């Protein structure tokens, strides 16, 4: 099913989700995992800022594979947060 199909728009029109989990795409992941003292070193902070988008991309690809192998869910469904 295409992402913007009429069927999916009708099906999810009145859906409201209140507990969506942590928004890691805008807030980042590594700063929640590591101590703030590590971020005081400028070289390490720069490296971790470059690693964070790579980590987010890996997690998004894993979510996509989990949706693909579950036949009860549309493979383009991005509304689920594991």
The predicted-structure confidence for 2-31, as pLDDT tens digits, reads as follows 566 777 778 777 777 777 777 888 888 888
Assess whether pLDDT exceeds 60 at residue 82: no
Contact, 82 vs 66, CB < 8 A?
A: yes
CA gap 56, 50 in Å, rounded = 11
Q: What is the pLDDT of residues 30-46, one digit of tens each?
A: 888 899 999 899 999 99
Placement of tokens 């996509």 in the chain: 64
- DSSP collapsed to 3 states, 23-45: CHHHHCCHHHHCCCCHHHCHHHH
Helix %, strand %, coil % of the chain (to 5): 55, 0, 45
Q: Cα(14)–Cα(24) distance, rounded to whole angstroms?
A: 25
């Amino acid at each position: 099913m295409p992402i913007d199909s009429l069927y999916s728009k009708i099906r999810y029109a009145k859906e409201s989700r209140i507990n969506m989990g942590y928004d890691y795409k805008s807030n980042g992941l590594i700063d929640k995992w590591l101590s703030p003292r590590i971020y005081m070193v400028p070289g390490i902070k720069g490296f971790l800022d470059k690693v964070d988008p790579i980590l987010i991309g890996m997690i998004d690809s894993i979510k996509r594979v989990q949706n693909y192998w579950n036949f009860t869910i549309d493979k383009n469904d991005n509304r689920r947060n594991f």
